[in-house]
Structure formats: C-alpha cells, structure tokens
Structure 1
Amino acid sequence: MQLKHTTYTLLVSGIALIAGACNKFVDINTDPNNPTTAQLSLLLPSTEVSMAANMYELNSGTSTFMQHMVSSGDLSRYQQQGTSFDDPWDGFYSQTLNDLESIIASGTAQQEWGYVSIAKIEKAYLVSLMVDMWGDIPYSEAEKGQETVSPPLDKGVDIYENVLTLIEEALQDAGKVTATTLVPSSADMIYSGLKTSWISLANSLKLKLYNQIRLVDPARSTAAIRGLISNPATLIGGTTNSNTTDYTLRFGAAQNPNNRHPWHRSEYQSSKNFYMCQSFIDLLFNNDDPRLRYFIYRQNASAGLNNSTNSNGYYGRNPGDGTAAPADLNRRSTFGVFPAGGLYDNAPINNIPDTYSYLGNTGATATLKVVATSDGTGAGVIPLLTNAMVKLIRAEAALALNTGDDARQNFADGITAHLNNVSTYGAANGGVALSAATISGFVNKLLTAYDAADAAGKMNMVMTQKYIACYGNGMEAYNDYRRTGLPVLRAPLSPLNAFPLRLYYSQTELSANTSLGENASAMQIAQQTTPVFWDK
C-alpha cells in the first residue's frame, strides 16, 4: 500500500473542468495589451479546485492515523517520511495560497470586495488547517515570490491570531457588497457566490478555531463562543438544522478527463491501494449504526479479517498491521457511496444480531460484486466544515466550557444532521434514503445512552459522534483526537513510532529553505512528538 498517488496531476486538471478554470488560466489578463492581472472569475474557482486536489495525501494520511481507513502500512504504524505529505505542502503554497494572494491583491486594487472576502475566508481556513497539521509554518514572509525565497517559520499561535483577524476583515469586506451574491455564481464552486453562506462559513470557522484553542485560553474561548451562538442564524446550519450551507468540496462524475473523488479513482479498479480500517468497521457494526452500509462496500459476502472466509464480508485491516497484504484485491471491503461516490451496500449481512433495529436486512436484496471503474458515480465530497460538525462543536464547548448552550440538543441535532446528509447524498448517488423513523429512532437510542452517562461519558459520546461525522475528513478527526484523546483508538498491532502530534514537513521545503538552518533533520524528527500550540 502506497500513499503516493501517481495520477495526482490528472486530478488537478480533471476537476478543474467543473469550474471551467484551472491554474493554466492564471496568466490570462483582462487586457491583452496590458498583462497585469488575472481574471478573478477564473482565478477564484481555480483555488477551490487546487485546494481539493492538494488535499488528497493530507486527507488520506490523517484518515489513516485516525483509523477511518489504511492508506499506508507505515502511516498506520505511525512512521512518517519527508515525502509523506510533500504534495499537499508544496501544492498549497505554490498553487492555492499563491492564487489566493493574487485575488486579494488584485481584488483590493479593483475594489472587487466580494472576491476579496471569499479569498480571505478560504485563506483563513487553509492557513489554520496547515497550522493544525504542521504547527509552525512559513506565513508572514511567504507568497512574496523572489522577494523572499526562503521564508522563515512563524509560530502557530501567532498565525492563529492573524487568521482570526483575517476572518474579521473578510466579514467587513462582505459588508461592502450590497448584492445577495458576493461574486457571480459561475465563479464560485462552493456556494455559487451566495453572501449569507460565506458569512455563515466565516462565523462557523471562528467557532471551530475558538473551540480549538479552548485548552490554551478557556476564558477567551468561552466569551467568543457565547457571542457566536447568541446568533445561531449566522452559523452553518442556522436555526433549522439545515445542511444546505455545509462547506463541502465536491468532485464530479466524469472519467475523461477524470474528475472523480480520488478515493474512488484509487479503489474502483482492479488494483487497489487502501484497506478500510477494521476498528472503524467494528465501531459502526457493533453499535447498530445504519451509516455502515453507506460508508463501506463489501466485495464478498463471507470475507473477514485476515482474509478469512467465514465472516460477514466486512474485511478490513487492523491498525498497525505490518504484515504483507495477501492476494485479496477482490475480497477486501472498500469505500461505499459516501463520501467517495462508490456503491451503496444493499446486500444481506449474514450475522446481524436479532436485537439490531437500524443495521438490518429488511429490503437488502442486492448482490455484492467486485467493484469496477464504471461502478458508482465518483462524484464524492470532502466535508470540510458541516452543520453536523458545528452542532457537535457546540456540544463539546457546552460540556467543556459551560457556554450556556444546550449540549444535549446540539448532540441530537448533530447526529440528525449527519444522518440526513449521508441519507440524502446516498439516495442521490445510487443508494436508498434512510426512513424518518430510522433516523429518529437511532438518535433517540443514542440520547438514552447520553442521558445515562456521567460527564466524561457524555463527552466521549459527543466526540465519538463527531469522529463518525468526520468520516471523509481525516484532518478534523486528527485535530479532535489530539485535543481530547477521544474516541479511544484501537492500539496498533506493531507501531514503529509514537502517535504523531504533528506532520512531517515536506522534504523539498527542508532542502530548499535556507532559513531553517542546519538543524532541519532534527526539527523534522521533533515534529512527531511536539504538540501543536493548542494541544495541551
């Protein structure tokens, strides 16, 4: 199993067609006789495309750490290399952030405040994510071209302050736009330019960041979160628990050029690179969770762990398993309809306990198959910041900081939102919808357990549901785990290192950036055991 994806560059060019723009357009000028600025309407969607494309290794690697899946045997055993995450690091700087800086500079000069606002929000999200992943990163002197070719590292805590300021600036810029859209719908692949949606993302990002730093400055986090939840209509999900303003990167269904979700492209073929993680499969199966049929597709009805032949088809791989993969490409479980756009598993499961109510065989009439490129749509998603996540963040903050919010209601709303999201997406992509009775019944079952739990048990339930709601976004699950230690992960079978508290830097950066000094190798090794500033 290899984390490197040799067709990465095809993903960039493929999904760019969704927006009708890619990085090759950034040199197009508004006046061919005066080549000064790129067209903002082409440049903005190209940043959304490049962020999605460059997130592949990052999402797969952190999903491996967090036992959602296994993209690499070494990463499953906590062993990083300088090449493990070099593509996202290099791509974020050379493509996404570079283009965002161009939008902010050109948009400000042209007083195109809608473009400036969106670019600042996107930059705030991406930069804060990079701090969460790597800790200290080049920031204040980065993206200056030949002016600073070896930018030094800025402290993550200082960058967070700048990011929070950047969000406030973005909100002020949005306020300068009197229209309901910040930019034309064709220039924005995420929200079609809708002003209220971008504002809800900006406020929800603030909520996430203040919750992220709650261990560092609980008083500040409490005050900020209380202010944000006092006007819930301005957050993702609003007052109706709607998923329509989720911040989600969407892939397409085309195959030539291929713009499908990279997990679909990797696994829906004869050769495969990944395993599903057995601990995640077991978590869902053992808790009668109906999302299992959407998340995981079985290729064989009786395959089991270690390529056994007398199980129920849920054949994954235990975390930290260092043994060689057997000849099992046609038997191992793979990605289902959500979030990768694969197949919905509607085949009978042969050993479901009689006590189960939600992961049942009623209506399960399909026959399993070995997946192929033509199966599923591939029009998958990366859920970056969703209504379900926002509700569960509010539940966590209510329990940890006494924000005055209703932890129980947010817990229920978060689960409901995620079930609805998975159900709606699944039904639109070849699956079936969950019934209203299944959704309410499953939520009520969890609420009964929540009511019976003590304070620690309630927090564990909130973070476990957040962990499940983050499936498809390993980065957010990785953040939550380092901050809370929840949910408790299965011990790796044969770890090669301690659980990584930061990601390794790109080896290209360490080799080329002279400002890092002669201790670059030692600094790299320290990444494994050095907490990010908010991880106390």
Structure 2
Amino acid sequence: MKFHKLPGTLALLSVLAAAPGCKDFYDVNVSPLAPTKAELFSLLPVTQVAMATSLGDSPSGMSQYTMALMQQLANSRNIGTFNQNGDAFSNEWSSLYTDMLINNQQIITQGTTEQSWTYVGIAQIQRAFVFSQMVDLWGSIPYSQALQGGTIATPRFDSDAAIYNGGDGIQSLFSLIDEGIGNLAKPAPNTGLARADLIYGGNKVSWTHFGNSLKLKLYNQIRKTRNVTADVTPLLANGSNLIQQFNEDFELNYGTTITPDNRNLGFIADYATPGRENRINPNFYLAMSGNADPRVPYYFFNQASTTNSFSALTQDYALGNFVSVRFGSNGPYASSSNSTIITLPGLYPVGGRYDDGKGGVASASSSIPGTVTGKGVVAQRLHTYFSRKFTEAELQLTVLNDNAAATTALRLAIKASFDKVDYVAGKDGSPLMDPAQVAAYINTALALFNRPGATLDDKLEVLMYEKYVASFGYGVDMYTDFRRTGHPRIKVPGNADPARGVFDDNDPVTVSTGAFPRRLNYPLNDLLVNPNGPQTQDSSPLFWDK
C-alpha cells in the first residue's frame, strides 16, 4: 500500500494544522512493500483534496478539459480541439488512483479493523463518487481488482455497466453507497473527524444526504438502460434524506493564504499565472448575454473596460469589452499575446473578480500596482443542491411523467443556482443580483419549458441548458449529461463529426482536429503494460449513452 503526499499548495495547511497529529501529515508516504499505519484523520483530508484537485477546475483537473469539450472554455490544450492522445489525461488518471483512491481504500481497510465506522462510511461514499466519475469519463476501468497492493499488479478493467449495476463478483455503486450509509449509522469513535473532514466536518447526516443524492443522480444517468421507477420513487418521496439547500453542497472549500497558496486552483491558473490558462468560449458568453442572464458579471470578468482598450490585432473574438478566442481557432490572432485584455472566469467559478464594468488587468494580489484581483476562496463544487433539483426535474419529466412536479423541481433548481451565486457574492462583498431580474429570468425559462406544443425533447433542452449554465465551474457531469441526453445543443464546428444534439458553428476560422469524444482515452501505459486491460483505445458510447 502506498500513501501519496500532496503538494503544499494543495494541502490546506491552515485547516490541517489544527488536526491532531498534523506534524505527521507529510509522513504518510511509505514503501508499497512495507506499509505502515497512518492515522485516519491524516488520510481523509489527503483523499478529499486529491479528489477536488483531480476532478475540479484547474490544469490538474478533469473539469477544465470537460468544460472545454462542452464549449464553456476555449482551452489551448489539445482537448480544446477534440484532439486527445493516450497521454492527455494520464496525470489525472494516476492522481485519482494513487493520491485519492489508494489512500481512501486504506481508510476503509484500517477503519474496519479499528471499527471507526464513520470514517469507513465516508470513505465508501467517496469511493463510489470518484469511481462513478471515472466510469462516466473512461468507461471500463480497474475497479473490483484495483487498489489491492501487490496482490493484483494488473487488475482487470470492469465494464461500465457492471460497475454501475454489479454482477460477476463486482459490488455495484449503489450497493457500495448503501453500505457506506449503513456504516455511518453505527456508533463509532470519531477521533479528529470534525477537523479532518474538509467537506462536512464529520456531519454524518450531511454525508447520508449526499449518499442518497448520489444514488438518485446515478439512477437518473442509467434511466435509458432500465426502468428505475421503483428505485427513484422512494428517494424522491422522502426529500428530507437528500441534500438540503446549498449549505449541504458537496464541495471543498479553499483558503486565503498565499504561502502556501491555498486559494482556488482555477483562480491560481487564471489570475496568479500571467499567461492565463483559459479563455471563455464566445458562444457560452453570447448565449448567457442573449438571455439577459443576471449571472453574467459574476461568471466572467472583462479586463478590457471599453472596446478602445485593445487593438484589433491582439484578439481573435471581441464583442464590446468581451475579448476571447474561438474554439479551435486557426485565425491570425489565435495565439497572440492578449493575456492583459482577455475575459477571464469571474467570481462565481473560481473566486475571481466581479465585473463592475471598470475593467483592469487581473493579478494574483491587490498589492501589485495598477492591477485588480479577486480573493480566490470560492469552493470547488462537486455536487450541489441545485444539481440535485435538476436531477429531480429530469426524473419527474422522463421517468415519472409528472410535468407539474418537473416544473416545480425546475423552478427550485434554477432559483437555487441563483441563490448560490448570491451566496458567493455576499461572502465576497460584491453586489447581489436584482431580485426582479432573477424572477423575470426564471419565469421566462419556465414559460419556455411549458410553452404550448413543447415536446419532451423541447422540455429537456430547456432543463439541460439551465443545468449546463448553473454548473459552470464543474465540467464532468456536464459532459456526461450531454452525451446521455444530447442536450443542450452546444455549437461546435461541422468538421467535428459531432454527437447528436450538436449543431454547426459555420465559422471559417474555427476548426476541430478530431471527433467529439464519446469517452476519453486511456493513458498509454495502461494499454501497454496491463494484459488484463483493453489493448486499444475505445471510442464507442458508454452503456448509458443511448
């Protein structure tokens, strides 16, 4: 068993310093041939930081790449043009296994021996969440035989359907969640848990609510493969056992310290890094602006104050003071130096700056003359209350055939997404949204959802678009939602051989260098050295992608 360390910038030392035994936090990296015992309160925060880092919005996380696939970001990395190779995601794949899942498995194994059942239950629910995200990204993956130390050096790749549903000696994700919830209900010593648990502070009720919400989400994702009515009906009937409001969002909070840098990793990438990591996809900005979405100044920060703040020769796309590059652009300005004028992810996604219309060159610190900055303290969201309500709306619409209940859930979902933005703005000290504008937006969306003659597909387009916009900052589930529903109808180049539901941009300087991926490529090393794994890359749809 190998316990991996995390960089100081990710360790959230201000939190961990108060945990018992924190002096040993960096002593958990040991020989895989001679494992030693680590305290559970030292292992748990390692798993949670690794989970948020590898799945979240940063150059080290899958959300940055999937938000590029989903046309929210215009990323210069290869995946930004649908060109993935065998090493495109090897670091994230490796980190999820060696930083998160191996340490998480040690919590389960050691916690079972010590009868520390709360730790065990938390780790089992985390295991189910991370493996579900990996399945949704890659399909078949090492699961039942993974994390066995030296006993199984080349684990088999279990199929996506078997990991979800079980069979062939494989514990299903649903069974794993239920086992975790059951362990949470057992009396147990919780040494150091309140400080070690960076997500819920050891609150067993919140973990149970998240576990049930995760089950609801996973049943929704496989609803096209089997009838899930009997599974989701009791979960929906007892909503008090699901995530309650945004104070129970499944997310990792960041801090304000700079040395070590514990701020939001997306903030570090786009504000503290002079070259910037991301651009905003113009079509995403245009869609929100065209709908008079009150969240625009919270989502995007325009460094340019007016159209006269930059030269036409330094940008690839501009509309007013919004400056960016097109998806996959091969235009003459695509790689020009424009880091001081491009539009950046704003306050809501990464803790950047609220756009007050005054512009300013973004920087890492307010002490840098002539620049503006944000605080970078926004949490990395992984699964939220508003996401739970969007899931309810989809299930009511498509499985339970109750349009009235779907409408109610959709209203609550959209309202919750706005409430979350206001919560972030309030903590930052930025202005809150105009309630009248918020109400008008919600009423317009619901009117479109229930317009005369609207088909099921029309309704899904409204629902999934609203979920897509609300989810900015976490891209993995957006990518899954799009592949399994075909919604929302995002724009990509016609030469991308797009998945259903995507229509052409017809932009002469926008190109893709590959097809829209229905799943992501495996790291080449796993294909080369593991005879029990697939021998070639698989581009077929996942089992729930019907």
Using the size of structure 2 for normalisation, the TM-score is 0.85
Structure 2 partner of 1:351: none
Q: 1:203-222 to 2 correspondence within 5 Å?
A: 203-217=212-226, 219=227, 221-222=228-229
Is 1:322–2:322 an aligned residue pair? no
Instruction: State the shift of 1:36 in Å.
Output: 4.8
Amino acid at match of 1:15: L
338-347 vs 435-444, which deviates more? 435-444
1:369 matched residue in structure 2: 360
Residues 511 and 57 of structure 1, relative CA distance in 2, 3 Å threshold? farther
Q: Are residues 1:295 and 2:302 paired?
A: no
The CA distance in 2 between the partners of 1:332 and 1:287, in whole Å, is 22
The answer to whether structure 1 residue 24 and structure 2 residue 21 are counterparts is no
1:68 to 63, 68, 72: 72
| Pairwise CA distance, 1:86 | 0.9
1:17 Cα deviation (Å)? 4.8
Match of 2:239 in 1: 232
What's the counterpart of residue 394 of structure 1?
392
Q: Does 1:506 align with 2:523?
A: yes
Q: In structure 2, how many angstroms separate the alpha carbons of the residues matched to 1:296 and 1:232?
A: 34
- Structure 2 residue runs of 5 or longer lacking an equivalent are 166-171, 366-372, 494-509
Match of 2:369 in 1: none
Q: Tell me the alpha carbon deviations over residues 129-169 of structure 1, each in whole angstroms, 9 at most, x when there is no partner.
A: 10000000011111111111111211111111221110010
Query: In 1, are the aligned partners of 2:116 and 2:188 still within 8 Å (CA)?
Result: no
CA distance in 2, matches of 1:84, 1:168: 34
Aligned length: 491
Which residue, 117, 122, 130 being the options, matches 1:118?
Answer: 122
Shift in Å at residue 246 of structure 1?
0.8
5 Å matches for 1:81-480? 81-161=85-165, 162-177=172-187, 184-217=193-226, 219=227, 221-237=228-244, 242-268=245-271, 269-303=273-307, 307=315, 311-323=319-331, 324-347=334-357, 367-374=358-365, 375-402=373-400, 404=402, 406-452=405-451, 454-455=454-455, 456-480=457-481
State how far apart, in whole Å, the 2-side matches of 1:88 and 1:429 are. 30
Listed one character per residue, the Cα deviations across residues 162-184 of structure 1 (whole Å, up to 9, x for unaligned) are 211100101111121389x8973
Q: CA offset at residue 76 of structure 1?
A: 2.0
% identical equivalent positions: 30
Q: The residue matched to 1:94 in structure 2 has which SS? A: helix
Name the CA distance, whole Å, in 2 between partners of 1:12 and 1:515.
36
**TM superposition shift of 1:14:** 4.2
Q: Which amino acid aligns with 1:414?
A: A
Greater mean deviation of Cα atoms: 148-157 or 119-128 = 148-157
1:182/1:195 contact within 8 Å kept: no
Whether contact under 8 Å (1:10, 1:258) holds in the other structure is no
Cα shift at 1:308: 6.8
**AA partner of residue 150 (structure 2):** Q
Q: Verify the 8 A CA contact 1:252 1:259 in the aligned structure 2.
A: yes
The answer to whether the Cα contact below 8 Å between 1:98 and 1:143 also exists between their aligned partners in 2 is yes
8 Å Cα contact 1:85/1:506 also seen in 2: yes
Alpha carbons 1:247, 1:384 under 8 Å: kept: yes
Q: 1:107 deviation in Å? A: 0.7
1:310 Cα deviation (Å)?
7.3
Q: Give 5+ residue unaligned stretches, structure 1.
A: 1-7, 29-33, 348-366
Retained in 2: the 8 A contact 1:77–1:322? no
What SS does the corresponding residue of 2:476 show, helix, strand or coil?
helix
- The alpha-carbon deviation at position 514 of structure 1 amounts to 3.8
1:12–1:53: 8 Å Cα contact kept in structure 2?
no
Q: TM-score, normalised by structure 1?
A: 0.86
User: Counterparts of 1:61 and 1:288 in 2: how far apart (Å)?
Assistant: 27
With over 3 angstroms needed to count, the CA separation of the structure-2 counterparts of 1:210 and 1:23, relative to structure 1, is: farther
C-alpha spacing 1:327/1:13, structure 2 compared with 1 (3 Å): closer
Distance 1:307 1:514, change over 3 A: same
Q: Distance in 2 between matches of 1:403 and 1:229?
A: 14
Q: Give the match for residue 353 of structure 1.
A: none
Deviations 1:510-531 (A, max 9, x none): 3432433xx73xx22x3xx311
